[in-house]
Structure 1
Amino acid sequence: MLISMLTCATLQAQQDQINYDESKVPDYVLPELLVTSAGKTITTARQWEQLRRPELLELFASQMYGRTPDDSGVGVSYELLTENTAALGGKATSKQVKLIFSNGQKKLETLLLLVIPNNATAKVPVFVGYNFKGNHSTMLDTTILYSDNFALVKEPGHPDWERGCQASRWPYEDIIDRGYAVATMCYHDIFPDKPGLKDHSVVSLFKGYGAAPEAPDEWQAIGAWAWGSSRIVDYLAAEPRVDTGKIAIMGHSRQGKAALWAGVQDTRFKVVISNDSGEGGAALSRREYGESIARVSSIQPAWFCPAFNQYRGKEQERPFDQHQLIALVAPRAVYVASAVEDRWADPKGEYLAAYHASPVYHLYGLKGLESSEMPGLHAPIMKDIGYHIRAGKHDVTLYDWLRFLDFADKHFGK
């Protein structure tokens, strides 16, 4: 009992010691990006793919995000619930599709909202991304359905039930006008982000669920959210108006973490966008600025696998860091976005992780970030690795979306 109390006290102290002072960032040495565990220097893209990339992917799966299990025992079926060809004042067609996941004994239902421009003369590229407060929160349209899982996480009368309560994060008309479709789903549908609801998540459909103790590399919420993003892509393959060769994933905050992990594992995401993802996402842990490993790994329900807990307060001992995660997206395009007031997410650490991922892009003859100095506010960098920092707080704004569209235009040849 005393040991347990001391452990909790130590963890709480680590969580309370959040650094916002740049002068207190420790000197650090990043783990090697282009040197294998056996000491071999990587000099070609082929060596990266055959030798170093598998090593790093294994580290992130076994010690951070958890290992994505074999899903051959989990089937999915689709049910078109509504189709509105006059959405957004006639600019778009909206479809609401129920995705039904089942292991033969138990099923889970999720709701996908797909919005497709009407004036396109060819197949259109698409942004895939989770919303936080339900599909109903992304627009004022009264025909948008509420998902069953949302009732588990928000009590009746809560402001999050209001239609359009996060519409500012989803500028559909701007996206549609640029010729892109949007596929969004409430992240609670895949894994409810509230303690005690794991039985209502997709992980409960997988073989071995509920075994105790959990394996060190047992996947948790971020792994499940990443898996769910790929299942959205599976559905899009059957949409004749969507160009499945031009799929971008965009995630904000905790979903920025999940978007990076999804993009690393699923090469169908040709553009991977992390917005304000911070610790456990795009930011370098070794800077020990803003949110810490101790803080982010203590969130319940767990986002990371149990093995990640060993690095609480030991950022400098961790044998991998987030520049390596960003590099795992190569040669596909990756974009990192920050906000100047979002010190919790460590904007400088996000930029430096993207900068230090650049050598892998160079192996492919691609362009990364060429300077260790951050760009100024509203001065986006649009290369194969992109970055911007904007004024304001932790959020997704129209400015962010316009830059994401610019980046996607560049890489989708629009």
Structure 2
Amino acid sequence: MKKLVFCLLFSLLLSNAYGQFDVNYDEDKVPEFKLSDPLKSFNGSKIRNTKKWEKKRRPELMDFFSKNIYGEVPGQLAISSVEILEESAEAINGKAIRKQVELFFEKENKQIHFTILLYLPKQLTPAPIFVAYNFYGNHTIVNDVNIIISEAWAKNNPSFGIINNQLTEQSRGARSDRWPVEKIIDAGFGLAVIYYCEVDPDKDDFSDGVHPLFYVDDQQQPAEDEWGAISAWAWGLSRSMDYFETDDAVDASKVIVFGHSRLGKTSLWAGASDRRFAGVISNNSGCGGAALSKRRFGETVWRINRSFPHWFCKNFKNYSKNENALPLDQHELIACIAPRPVYIASAEEDLWADPKGEFLAALYATPVFELYGKKGIEHTIMPPVNQAIHNTLAYHIRTGKHNVTDYDWDQYLKWAEMFIK
């Protein structure tokens, strides 16, 4: 009995140490809050047509998100050179072309580069594609010895054979369950993936990755309103789009940006920031992604800024435990992507990402899609699990945990066939 009590006390102390002690998973404890109207400007004027949305409301929302949440990109930088590292016309059981393309960027004697692994269906040229980041390297998405293993920094994960922050052969194909490449190819789409830490390592250290290329004088950190890692990753996705516009095998007018978890936050910001993306998918993205911040359910602004202070700009810390001071919320980020198609997906057991908050954000973004004559979320009650809503603004909640599953991809492919292809 004493041992049990000690274990419980130790667990509580450990939870408190990691900021989990007071995590709210109880709907009855969600604080009262008032959501801003996406169709009412900061000065109170009503937005009644798309012209006024485009000229007044959307710009002020994007300006606030940029300066106070994700951070501004402090300049422009084009691709300096492109190198095709490897290419094969016999990939995925002979159904696809595989191409590994390295993009280089240079500025004031500093350089970064990242590699796009691209699979394209042979039967369709140019092809619509999904573009996405992965967490552990391009070689993890398919068990294929031809895929180059990145030398970039990686988070240690002994189960994947990652020690000393270095990717290894052991992790080849380790995440193939999240990437049904053959199914994507069979559906007539291509897939482009990038290891996200090649663009910006996922650690609280702005001394490497893309940030130093933009520093001036003796700058060591981004300014208060300058880009965190999510904005940097979004920048990398836009640079991949620069490349797609030059590749005749890619239909650059039909590129869908996809992301899971923190990379789902990234896909939403990339899709809002760069209107060349034809569609956006957010899979289990939570706080700072699709979920409403003001609900303070599961992951919160305070927790995310405390645990991952490099993801967002420093100004976002002004809203830690102060979400009601935000003059907007994440439904308006989704709205900024309209009229382009957006898919928000949740998982029933992923309470940390707040499925209800993700659904409500899609619901309250709907009036802006309707302004453009597009269909969004038509009912205020969440749909049953595994019953997807496939409109221009789409949503599903599936059974299971924080993951990317075959069910998710089945829905994304059906939806993309309807609204993108």
Residue pair 1:96, 1:112 contacting (<8 A) in 2 also: yes
Of stretches 99-108 and 224-233 in structure 1, the one that deviates more from structure 2 is 99-108
Within the alignment, does 1:92 sit opposite 2:96 as a pair? yes
User: Per the alignment, do residues 373 and 209 of structure 1 end up closer, same or farther by CA in structure 2, a change over 3 Å counting?
Assistant: farther
Count residues with an aligned counterpart. Answer: 400
Q: Distance in 1 between matches of 2:358 and 2:144?
A: 36
Which residue among 306, 316, 340 is the counterpart of 2:324? 316
Counterpart of 1:165 in structure 2: which amino acid? A
C-alpha distance after superposition, 1:69-124 (max 9, x if no partner): 2214x54311001001111110111011111111140111211100001122x421
User: Per the alignment, do residues 371 and 152 of structure 1 end up closer, same or farther by CA in structure 2, a change over 3 Å counting?
Assistant: closer
C-alpha distance after superposition, 1:255-283 (max 9, x if no partner): 00010000001111111000000000000
Q: What is residue 137 of structure 1 aligned with on the other side?
A: 140
Which residue among 370, 373, 387 is the counterpart of 1:365? 373
Within the alignment, does 1:40 sit opposite 2:51 as a pair? no
Residue pair 1:15, 1:294 contacting (<8 A) in 2 also: no
TM-score (ref. length: structure 2): 0.91
Residue pair 1:218, 1:305 contacting (<8 A) in 2 also: yes
Shift of 1:27: 2.0
Q: Distance in 2 between matches of 1:227 and 1:165?
A: 27
Q: What is residue 187 of structure 2 aligned with on the other side?
A: 178
Within the alignment, does 1:147 sit opposite 2:156 as a pair? no
TM-score (ref. length: structure 1): 0.92
Residue pair 2:83, 2:103 contacting (<8 A) in 1 also: yes
Within the alignment, does 1:278 sit opposite 2:282 as a pair? no
Of stretches 215-224 and 173-182 in structure 1, the one that deviates more from structure 2 is 215-224
Counterpart of 1:147 in structure 2: which amino acid? S
User: Per the alignment, do residues 17 and 140 of structure 1 end up closer, same or farther by CA in structure 2, a change over 3 Å counting?
Assistant: same
Residue pair 1:223, 1:258 contacting (<8 A) in 2 also: yes
Residue pair 1:284, 1:350 contacting (<8 A) in 2 also: yes
Shift of 1:244: 0.9
Within the alignment, does 1:64 sit opposite 2:64 as a pair? no
Q: How does 1:75-114 map to 2 (within 5 A)?
A: 75-114=79-118
Query: Which residues of structure 1 form unaligned runs of 5+?
Result: 1-10
Shift of 1:218: 1.5
User: Per the alignment, do residues 115 and 13 of structure 1 end up closer, same or farther by CA in structure 2, a change over 3 Å counting?
Assistant: closer
Secondary structure class of the residue paired with 1:184: strand
Secondary structure class of the residue paired with 1:98: strand
C-alpha distance after superposition, 1:132-190 (max 9, x if no partner): 10001001000100112146864268788420000111100000000001111000111
Residue pair 2:331, 2:365 contacting (<8 A) in 1 also: yes
Residue pair 2:149, 2:168 contacting (<8 A) in 1 also: no
Secondary structure class of the residue paired with 1:325: helix
Secondary structure class of the residue paired with 1:280: coil
Q: How does 1:22-33 map to 2 (within 5 A)?
A: 22-33=27-38
Secondary structure class of the residue paired with 1:111: strand
Q: What is residue 172 of structure 2 aligned with on the other side?
A: 163
Which residue among 379, 387, 403 is the counterpart of 1:395? 403
